[in-house]
A and B are shown apart, each in its own frame.
Chain A
Amino acid sequence: MFDLTGMTALVTGASGGIGSAIAKALAAQGTRLALSGSNLEKLEAFKAELGGDHVALPCNLSDGAAVDQLVPQAVQALGKLDILVNNAGVTRDNLAMRMKDDEWDQVIRVNLEAAFRLARAAAKPMMKARFGRIVSITSVVGQTGNPGQANYAASKAGLVGLSKALAQELASRGITVNCVAPGFIRSAMTDVLPDAQKQALLGKIPAGDLGTGEDIGAAVVYLASREAGYVTGQTLHVNGGMAMI
């Protein structure tokens, strides 16, 4: 089950906490990867750590023209593209009343617009192949909202709507489009939270613990697999029960 041998994938934000766990999970199932990220040094270091025959494709996701080149570059490097994982995301937290235009724009551009551009480009080779898997990493806050994150929550909710529309357009061609919505995941960001805040957070999670990158990687592997071919337009929530939607 869930064997991805012979498949290829493009993963954005691949050197980050969740992105690297997703990349490792896909690679462990036999996928050959195009690892994308903004920092070439980090990407190359992660590629070396991963071993195997993967490629690094640096890209600035806030640059639309560069984003439009990423899928063609991945297809050229890998020979084909079976799986697209829109994982990259940024935050520019601020109360909505204080939020600057560029804080809004930057988050929407990287988290939502880049995902659309990549999916639009990936649909072409996937349609020809009559097979494709597009998985976008959204967030529990796209469903629940979060104070200080109007931009981020909007971008993550946007990914859900985008995926549902694409899922309907592409289902007849063997392409599925889904989201994975992490809850609170152990990362550099959550490690620095004060203990009191961490305890308050854990009180809201029935599972009693933060999630891990591996939890997200496993969800992506499932949605990318041939076995998940009848699952499309869905959001798989991986959050220890903190929100049941």
Chain B
Amino acid sequence: MSETADRVKKIVVEHLGVEAEKVTEDASFIDDLGADSLDIVELVMAFEEEFGVEIPDDAAEKITTVKDAIAYIDEHKG
């Protein structure tokens, strides 16, 4: 597992208060992890802070699974 994946999963566990085992790469934030739309906004803010990337709104809307987040961050972090 990549370092990005570890850090993303840690943030998801902390923000959504879910068990780490549930945060698989295919997990959907809303359907599998019980997030609402405001949780997603907060997760995106947390990712931006943790990785120093900017995630514009149109990109953020496409991030629906843990895998999507990891891929976006790996592609855009400095």
Contact = CB atoms under 8 A, between A and B. Distances in A.
Contacts, number: 10
B14 interface: no
A172 B35 CA distance: 13
A124 B45 contact: yes
Nearest to A125: B45
A contact face: mostly helix, strand, loop, or mixed: helix
A172 B41 CA distance: 13
B45 A169 contact: no
A173 B38 contact: yes
A127 B41 CA distance: 10
Interface string B32-54: 00000010011001000000000
Interface in B15-35: none
Nearest to A173: B38
A59 B12 CA distance: 38
B38 A128 contact: no
A25 B45 CA distance: 34
B14 to A, nearest CB: 13
Nearest to B46: A128
Contacts of B41: 127
Interface of B: 38, 41-42, 45
Interface of A: 124, 127-128, 169-170, 172-173
The 8 closest A-B pairs by CB, nearest first: A127-B42, A169-B38, A124-B45, A128-B45, A172-B38, A173-B38, A127-B45, A127-B41
